[in-house]
Structure 1
Amino acid sequence: MAVNFVLMLTERDVTIPDAVEVYRGLEVDGLAHVAFKDVGVEPSAARKLTDAAHADGRQVLLELADLSDHGQEQGLRLALDLGVDQVVARWRPDFAARLADPDAPRYWPFVGSLSGSPLALSSTPEELAAMAGQLSDAGVGGMVLMPYRQHAHDAAALLAGTARAASVPVLVAGGVKDPSQVADIARAGAWGFTMGGAALADRHDDPSSVSRRVADLLQLCRQLGPEPGPTEENV
Structure 2
Amino acid sequence: MGLRFIFMLTRNDRTVVDAAQQLQTALGLGVRHIGFKDIGLPLEQLKSLDAAIKAGGATSYLEVVSLDRESEIVSAKAAVEIGVDVLLGGTRVDDVLPIIKDTGIRYFPFPGRITGHPSVLEGTVEEIVESAKTIAARDGVHGLDLLAYRSAQNVPELMKAVCAAVSKPVYIAGSIATPERIAVVQNAGAAGFTIGTAALDGKYPADGNDVPSQLTAIIRDVAALNKHLSPIRKKRLATAVSSGGGEQVNNTQINVAVFKDASGWSFREHDDELFFVHRGCLLMKFRDREETIEPGEFIVVPRGVEHLAVAVGEGCEVLSATTTASSVE
TM superposition shift of 1:165 = 0.5
Q: Which runs of 5+ in 2 are unaligned?
A: 228-329
Q: Which residue of 2 aligns with 1:168?
A: 168
8 A Cα contact 2:66 2:72, kept in partner: yes
Aligned equivalents of 2:226, 2:188: Cα separation in 1:
10
TM-score scaled by structure 1?
0.88
Relative to structure 1, the CA distance from residue 33 to residue 27 in structure 2 (aligned partners, 3 Å threshold; closer, same or farther) is closer
SS in 1 for 2:185: helix
The equivalent of 2:212 in structure 1 is: 211
Asked if structure 2 preserves the Cα contact closer than 8 Å seen for 1:32 and 1:57, the reply is yes
Query: Match for residue 67 of structure 1?
Result: 67
Q: 1 or 2 for the larger relative contact order (CA 8 Å, sep ≥6)?
A: 1
Secondary structure at the counterpart of residue 36 of structure 1: strand
- Does the 8 A contact of 1:28 with 1:214 survive in 2? no
Q: Hey, what does 2:261 align to over in structure 1?
A: none
> Deviations along 1:45-74, whole A, 9 cap, x unmatched?
111110100001111111121221111111
Q: 1:52 to 1:180 in 2, by over 3 A?
A: same
- The superposition leaves residues 21-58 of structure 1 with CA deviations (integer Å, 9 ceiling, x where unpaired) of 22123364431111111111111211111010000111
Runs of 4+ in 1 over 3 A off after TM superposition: 25-30
User: Match of 2:92?
Assistant: 91
SS at match of 1:48: helix
Name the CA distance, whole Å, in 1 between partners of 2:185 and 2:114. Answer: 20
Aligned pairs for 1:62-141 (under 5 A) are 62-88=62-88, 89-101=90-102, 103-139=103-139, 140-141=141-142
User: Pairwise mapping of residues 38-77 of structure 1 onto structure 2 (< 5 A)?
Assistant: 38-77=38-77
The SS at the match of 1:162 is helix
Shift of 1:212: 2.2
Distance 1:159 1:5 in 2: 16
Amino acid at match of 1:68: D
Structure 2 SS opposite 1:176: coil
TM-score by length of 2: 0.63
Residues paired across the two proteins, number: 221
Distance 1:178 1:132, change over 3 A: same
Report Cα offsets for 1:60-89 as digits up to 9, x if no partner: 111121221111111111111110011122
Instruction: Report the AA paired with residue 91 of structure 2.
Output: R
2:143 is the counterpart of 1:142: yes
Structure 1 residue ranges without an equivalent (≥5): 227-235
**Residue of structure 2 in register with 1:220 after alignment:** 221
In the alignment, what sits opposite 2:181? 181
In the aligned structure 2, how far is the partner of 1:130 from the partner of 1:225?
30
* Aligned partner letter, 2:17: P
Match in the other structure for 2:307: none
Structure 2 CA distance for aligned equivalents of residues 33 and 194 of structure 1:
9
Q: In the superposition, relative to structure 1, how do residues 158 and 18 fare at CA in structure 2: closer, same or farther (>3 Å)?
A: same
User: Highest Rg: 1 or 2?
Assistant: 2
Identical aligned residues as a percent: 30
User: Does residue 7 of structure 2 align to residue 3 of structure 1?
Assistant: no
Q: 3-state SS of the aligned residue for 2:39?
A: coil
Structure with greater proportional helix content:
1
How far off is 1:20 after superposition?
1.1
Q: Cα deviations across residues 81-128 of structure 1 (Å, max 9, x unaligned)?
A: 110011122232232243342x43111110110101111111211112
Residues 52, 27 of structure 1: alpha-carbon distance in 2 compared, 3 angstrom cutoff: closer
How many angstroms does 1:148 deviate by? Answer: 0.8
- Which residue number corresponds to residue 19 of structure 2? 19
Question: Comparing both structures, which one devotes a greater share of its residues to strand?
Answer: 2
Kept in 1: contact 2:177–2:195 (CA 8 A): yes
Asked whether the equivalents of residues 5 and 192 of structure 2 are also in contact (C-alpha less than 8 Å), the reply is yes
Task: Please report how far the alpha carbon of residue 208 of structure 1 lies from its aligned counterpart in structure 2 after TM superposition.
Answer: 8.7
